């Protein structure tokens, strides 16, 4: 498990995020640009953004901050998060709130070589928010950034997809102008969804967080596999030929078996059925806190190349540096090898999972009585199921997850523990 630092004020599980004009202001973005550039010692900062209407104004603010710190802001325009990571110079910064609704935006920062920042690095950046920079920076634009990214990705991860019929949902986000054509150039027949961004429709009724449109399209026929990205393109969810959802657990499992890896890293949310399949296949599993940065840390520590989260972050490090929805999609299509997606993923048993969010005031922690009861329940379940309780890294919630062999048992477990969480929080 990852080391826990003292809580950061602005940084959550994945960068800084908030409603634009409320918790995420132009001033904060400018200060973050300045602080991150000072932390990096100046240099060239590649800036990409997703398709939110607030992007251009925040890009200007970020560039001012980078310039104030003596750095050069290299503006690449709309670009998926994994592309910024791959092309990052001294720093890479993405203006995106990922899968959040359109009124949100955020700042994600990558270090040299596209590495995610550690908790400690984020604390160091926060400490520089009010520092004065030397000024004298510059702004440049980078043309053709998406093509540079695809020139790296296609030869490394692409395969002959002739005859494969794919529905691709781009969430009206950063992959809208890139992903459909990539699959077509590899020979697939592509049905395109959610690829008309207008600044207000990112993740709205489409993409990895709302698969209903993709499922409907697949069920209407003529499609072998559905792929859905989130707004900034670092997540992938899939739909099999029958319209059933294949989440990050299923995608990682399919790639693990296809590529014959000996070790994977996943988070505490990953389904027990995944663990059972990996054990049966002789593949070691490292378990981390929730957050793709912790999966990345574990992969680097263990020298492994594949990991991911149930939510669709899939990381393949042989030729890449971070989670990439397009790369995950290319690897999943390759793993089919002429078979249906349902037959590929059908080898993994899936335990029913029931989740409930308990709203709290401010940043949460789990009361001691709840921790002790969860430990007792998990010992009693002895691998036939489990309960997980954790504070959200992005919202004022405590998340409860219960998993068991039947949905009824999982529902009862979840309700019991969520009730206990409420009672204990009220008593505080």
**b/e burial code for range 236-266 (CB count within 10 A of at least 16 → b):** bbbbbbebbebbbbbbbbbbbbeeebebbbb
Q: Are residues 116 and 234 in the same domain?
A: no
Do residues 58 and 167 share a domain? Answer: no
- Residue 268 and residue 225 share a domain: yes
2 is catalytic: no
State pLDDT tens for residues 134-181: 999 999 999 999 999 999 999 999 999 999 999 999 999 999 999 999
Which residue in this structure is represented by tokens 């959802």?
245
Any residues with CB less than 8 A from the CB of 381 and at least 6 apart, and which?
A: 387, 404
User: Which residues, 6 or more positions from 338, have their beta carbon under 8 angstroms from its beta carbon?
Assistant: none
Pick the closest to residue 416 from 362, 363, 360, 358 (CA basis).
Answer: 358
Q: Is 33 helix (H, G, I), strand (E, B) or coil?
A: helix
Q: Please give the pLDDT value at position 1.
A: 38
Do 382 and 300 sit in the same domain of this protein? no
Q: Same structural domain for residues 25 and 37?
A: yes
Instruction: Check residue 5 and give its pLDDT.
Output: 45
Number of domains in the chain: 3
How many Å apart are CA 268 and CA 288, to the nearest integer?
A: 6
Contact 391, 365 (CB under 8 A): yes
Q: Mean pLDDT score of the chain, rounded to an integer?
A: 94
Cross-strand bridge partners of residue 29:
none
Beta bridge partners of 297: none
Residue 6 lies inside a defined structural domain of this protein: no
Total Cβ atoms within 10 A of residue 405: 14
CB distance 206 to 193 below 8 Å: yes
Which residues, given as ranges, of the chain have pLDDT below 50?
1-6
Same domain, 313 and 209: yes
Task: Read off the pTM.
Answer: 0.92
Expressed as residue numbers, the domain containing 415 is: 353-427
Marked catalytic residue, from 2, 54, 96, 98: 98
Residues 298 and 328 both lie in one domain: yes
- 274's enclosing H/E stretch is helix 272-280
CA 142 to CA 77: how far, in whole Å?
A: 8
For 109, the 3-state DSSP assignment is strand
């Amino acid at each position: 498990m990852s080391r826990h630092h003292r809580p950061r004020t602005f940084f959550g599980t994945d960068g800084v995020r908030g409603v634009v004009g409320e918790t995420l202001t132009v001033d904060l973005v400018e200060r973050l640009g300045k602080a991150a550039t000072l932390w990096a010692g100046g240099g060239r900062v590649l800036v990409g953004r997703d398709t939110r209407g607030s992007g251009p104004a925040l890009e200007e603010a970020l560039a001012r901050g980078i310039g104030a710190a003596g750095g050069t802001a290299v503006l690449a325009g709309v670009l998926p998060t994994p592309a910024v990571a791959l092309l990052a110079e001294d720093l890479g910064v993405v203006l995106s709130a990922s899968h959040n609704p359109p009124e949100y935006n955020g700042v994600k920062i990558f270090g040299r070589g596209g590495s995610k920042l550690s908790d400690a690095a984020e604390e160091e950046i926060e400490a520089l928010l009010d520092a004065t920079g030397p000024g004298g920076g510059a702004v440049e634009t980078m043309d053709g950034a998406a093509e540079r990214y695809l020139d790296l990705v296609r030869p490394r991860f692409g395969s002959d997809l002739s005859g494969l019929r794919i529905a691709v949902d781009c969430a009206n986000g950063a992959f809208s102008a890139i992903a459909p054509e990539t699959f077509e150039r590899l020979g697939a027949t592509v049905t395109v969804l959610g690829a008309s961004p207008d600044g207000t429709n990112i993740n709205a009724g489409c993409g990895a967080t709302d698969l209903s449109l993709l499922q409907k399209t697949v069920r209407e026929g003529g499609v072998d596999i559905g792929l859905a990205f989130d707004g900034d393109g670092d997540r992938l969810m899939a739909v099999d030929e029958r319209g059933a959802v294949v989440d990050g657990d299923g995608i990682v499992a399919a790639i693990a078996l296809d590529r014959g890896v000996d070790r994977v890293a996943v988070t505490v949310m990953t389904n027990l059925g995944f663990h059972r399949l990996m054990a049966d296949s002789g593949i070691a599993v490292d378990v981390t806190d929730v957050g793709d940065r912790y999966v990345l840390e574990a992969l680097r520590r263990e020298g492994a190349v594949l990991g991911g989260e149930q939510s669709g972050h899939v990381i393949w490090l042989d030729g890449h540096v971070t989670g990439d929805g397009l790369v995950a999609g290319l690897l999943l299509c390759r793993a089919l090898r002429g078979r249906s997606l349902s037959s590929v993923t059908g080898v993994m048993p899936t335990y029913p999972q029931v989740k409930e969010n308990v709203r709290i005031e401010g940043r949460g922690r789990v009361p001691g009585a709840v921790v002790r009861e969860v430990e007792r329940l998990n010992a009693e379940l002895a691998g036939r199921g489990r309960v997980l309780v954790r504070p959200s890294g992005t919202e004022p919630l405590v998340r409860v997850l219960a998993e068991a062999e039947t949905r009824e048992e999982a529902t009862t477990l979840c309700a019991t523990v969520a009730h206990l969480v409420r009672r204990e929080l009220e008593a505080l």
